[in-house]
Amino acid sequence: MIQRRTDRELDQLRRAGRVVAAVRRAVLAATTPGRSTRDLDAVAEQVIREHGATPAFKGYRGYPATICASVNEQVVHGIPDDIPLAEGDVVSIDVGAQLGGYFGDAAFTVALGAVPTAAGNLIEVTEECLRRAIALARPGNRLSDISHAVETCAVAGGMSVVRQFGGHGIGRSLHEEPHINNYGPPGKGPLLQPGFVLAIEPILCLGNPELLIADDGWTASTADGSLAAHAEHTVAVTADGPWVLTADDDLGEGADR
């Protein structure tokens, strides 16, 4: 069953989402050549705790860190390590926080310094897929309209969609119903209703979308070594349209209500 959250609960989820937005800002600022993803993990955990929140991923099915940091051909669920980031790296950061029993989950991908045009395009197309999918998170649309929008945008941009992972409902748990594919025909699945809260997360790569999971049991990489990118927001479906709960206050995209 897909939960419908009350307005009060959406306010709680927005609070959790604001913590995630603050973490995203801090981690983005710290993502520079020479820093390790373990440094970024420490930054993220500190910001989360300063807000009285707790990391959502740490301990989830045994996951050992606050963020997932997936570099270059790593796609999702990269475990932070001590390798210094370098100019030209494409870094995806995924972070979740829990505040007062409610969860927020968001991800972004950033290139360090100058990267080939294809890498820059990959990041931009991934963000565009997320924007288009978010725009469809409104009552009257069906779940797979979101899936279809991601795939259509990715294909139009010359990118591949990863199929093994997708978005999900979120609320009082990190992962709730429904699963959200990033591909498929439109007009299928449940009608979106006010109060649904969805973590929408396009995951794209430049080459073949087949993945390999590392021996650590988590890190997913493209089998062909091609670059991957990931973008995610937690979004509430409201009568007035999508409410991006993990948006920065100052971007207007999450305009509070």
Contacts with ligand MF3 by CB under 6 A lie at 57, 60-61, 63, 68, 77, 94, 105, 107, 168, 199, 232
Quote the least distance from Cβ 110 to Co ion, whole Å.
Answer: 18
Quote the least distance from Cβ 222 to Co ion, whole Å.
Answer: 19
DSSP lists the bridge partners of residue 106 as 95
Choose from ligand MF3, Co ion, none: what does 63 bind? Cβ within 5-8 Å by kind. Answer: ligand MF3
Instruction: Please report, as a single letter, which amino acid is at residue 218.
Output: W
Q: Which of 44, 146, 199, 200 binds Co ion (CB under 5 A)?
A: 199
Quote the least distance from Cβ 6 to Co ion, whole Å.
Answer: 22
And the tokens for 226? 């091609």
Give the number of other Cβ atoms within 10 Å of residue 114's Cβ: 9
3-state secondary structure the chain: CCCCCCHHHHHHHHHHHHHHHHHHHHHHHHCCCCCEHHHHHHHHHHHHHHCCCEECCCCHHHCCCCEEEEECCEEECCCCCCCECCCCCEEEEEEEEEECCEEEEEEEEEECCCCCHHHHHHHHHHHHHHHHHHHCCCCCCEHHHHHHHHHHHHHHCCCEECCCCCEEECCCCCCEEEEECCCCCCCCCCECCCCCEEEECCEEECCCCCEEECCCCCCEEECCCCCEEECEEEEEEECCEEEECCCCHHHCCCCCC
Choose from ligand MF3, Co ion, none: what does 85 bind? Cβ within 5-8 Å by kind. Answer: none
Q: Which range, of 47-55, 196-204, 208-216, 234-242, touches Co ion by CB under 5 A?
A: 196-204
User: Measured between alpha carbons, how far is 163 from 63 in angstroms, rounded to an integer?
Assistant: 21
Nearer to Co ion, 97 or 115 (CB): 97
Contact call for residue 105 and Co ion (CB under 5 A): yes
Choose from ligand MF3, Co ion, none: what does 68 bind? Cβ within 5-8 Å by kind. Answer: ligand MF3
Quote the least distance from Cβ 106 to Co ion, whole Å.
Answer: 8
Nearer to Co ion, 115 or 211 (CB): 211
Quote the least distance from Cβ 105 to Co ion, whole Å.
Answer: 4
Nearer to ligand MF3, 115 or 202 (CB): 202
Nearer to ligand MF3, 43 or 115 (CB): 43
Choose from Co ion, ligand MF3, none: what does 57 bind? Cβ within 5-8 Å by kind. Answer: ligand MF3
Nearer to ligand MF3, 60 or 124 (CB): 60
Interface residues with Co ion (CB under 5 A) are: 105, 199
